[in-house]
Chains A and B, each alone.
Chain A
Amino acid sequence: QKEVEQNSGPLSVPEGAIASLNCTYSDRGSQSFFWYRQYSGKSPELIMFIYSNGDKEDGRFTAQLNKASQYVSLLIRDSQPSDSATYLCAVKDDYKLSFGAGTTVTVRA
Chain B
Amino acid sequence: GAGVSQSPRYKVAKRGQDVALRCDPISGHVSLFWYQQALGQGPEFLTYFQNEAQLDKSGLPSDRFFAERPEGSVSTLKIQRTQQEDSAVYLCASSLTGISGNTIYFGEGSWLTVV
Contacts and interface: CB of A to CB of B under 8 A. Distances in A.
A101 B45 contact: no
Contacts of B100: 31-32, 51, 92, 94
A44 B91 contact: yes
Interface of B: 4, 31, 33, 35, 40-45, 48, 50, 55-56, 59, 91, 98-101, 103-109
Given A32-B101, A96-B56, A102-B42, 6 more contacts: A44-B43, A46-B104, A95-B99, A96-B45, A98-B45, A99-B43
B42 A101 contact: yes
Interface string A74-109: 000000000000001010101111111110000000
A2 B105 CA distance: 20
Nearest to B6: A43
Nearest to B41: A101
Nearest to B55: A95
A69 interface: no
Given A31-B100, A46-B103, A92-B100, A99 B108 contact: no
Interface string A50-71: 0100000000000000000000
Contact of A99 (B40, B44, B55, B99): B44
Give the residue among B4, B45, B108 with the most A Cβ atoms within 10 A: B45
A42 interface: yes
Given A46-B104, A95-B98, A1 B42 contact: no
Contacts of B106: 43-45
Given A42-B108, A43-B108, A44-B106, A96 B41 contact: no
Contacts of A98: 45
Contacts of B104: 46, 97
Contact of B42 (A45, A88, A92, A94): A88
Nearest to B101: A32
